């Protein structure tokens, strides 16, 4: 099944599946999928939990783009986002279905569900908000890149190391860091090379090798494109002072 789940309690919602813990904050909603044979446990911990959930059969995956980023090969997957007032308003309106009867009631419910899907999809696409779990994944990806400058992983391998897929990582890495994966890697390489050449007694070839460039001439060209001068000029300036 596919689902949209909204946490409506004052506390965070915590549940466990296959020894993995999931947390849905009180200001979040999630988009997810679950195998109908999968069982999980909610941990109440003397707190009041309340959710509103819409369930969809799996064949809607190809009809509703909102579910497109889920990992359908997994037994369970969810992606969290911050909910907004527009969604809350529609959820509250869905509680007034008793005001209608018969066909009018069915039309009202269907229209509100479609409106909720539309508003959730729009909010998902804005992607101005990253949950704490998503931030951890993105920061982990950056850390791996910085620690493996000499031999960085492919995007697919990087996504695997971070427990996500390459489509999600490429899209959200750029939104979060304002650079693509390779743009950020190139910038960080050059920043480190600049610091090495300025502060250490090191050759251009050695600096290039440390940050992952095998061709010193190619490195010098990229360095000049970024800083406006060659690495050899930086070394001369250091020697002069």
Q: Give the tens place of pLDDT for each residue, 140-192.
A: 999 999 999 989 999 999 999 999 999 999 988 988 888 999 999 999 999 99
CA dist., res. 103 & res. 107, Å (int): 6
Based on the number of CB atoms within 10 Å of its own CB, is 35 exposed (0-12), middle (13-18) or buried (19 or more)? exposed
| pLDDT attached to residue 42 | 58
| pLDDT attached to residue 44 | 56
**Cα–Cα distances in Å, from 102 out to 91, 94, 98, 173, 226?**
20, 15, 10, 48, 67
CA dist., res. 140 & res. 231, Å (int): 30
Domain ranges in the chain? 2-126, 132-178, 183-240
| pLDDT attached to residue 78 | 82
- Here the tokens at position 173 are 């890495």
Residues of the chain with pLDDT under 50: 241
Into which CATH architecture does domain 183-240 fall? Answer: Orthogonal Bundle (1.10)
What is the CA angle 121-119-106, rounded to 5? Answer: 110
| pLDDT attached to residue 240 | 52
């Amino acid at each position: 099944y596919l689902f949209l789940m909204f946490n409506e309690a004052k506390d965070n919602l915590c549940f466990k599946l296959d020894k993995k813990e999931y947390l849905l904050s009180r200001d979040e909603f999630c988009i997810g999928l679950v195998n109908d044979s999968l069982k999980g446990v909610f941990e109440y911990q003397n707190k009041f939990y309340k959710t509103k959930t819409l369930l969809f059969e799996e064949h809607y995956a190809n009809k509703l783009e909102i579910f497109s980023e889920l990992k359908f090969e997994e037994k369970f997957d969810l992606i969290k986002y911050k909910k907004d007032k527009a969604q809350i308003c529609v959820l509250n309106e869905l509680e007034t279905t008793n005001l209608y009867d018969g066909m009018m009631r069915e039309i009202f419910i269907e229209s509100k569900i479609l409106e909720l899907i539309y508003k959730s999809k729009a909010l998902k696409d804005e992607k101005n908000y990253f949950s704490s779990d998503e931030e951890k994944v993105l920061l982990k990806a950056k850390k791996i890149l910085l620690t493996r400058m000499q031999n960085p992983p492919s995007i697919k391998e990087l996504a695997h190391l971070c427990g996500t897929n390459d489509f999600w990582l490429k899209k959200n890495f750029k939104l979060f860091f304002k650079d693509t994966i390779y743009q950020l890697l190139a910038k960080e390489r050059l920043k480190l090379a600049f610091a090495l050449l300025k502060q250490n007694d090191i050759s251009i070839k050695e600096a290039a090798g440390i940050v992952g460039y095998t061709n010193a001439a190619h490195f010098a060209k990229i360095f000049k494109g970024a800083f406006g001068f060659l690495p050899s000029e930086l070394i001369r300036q250091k020697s002069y002072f």
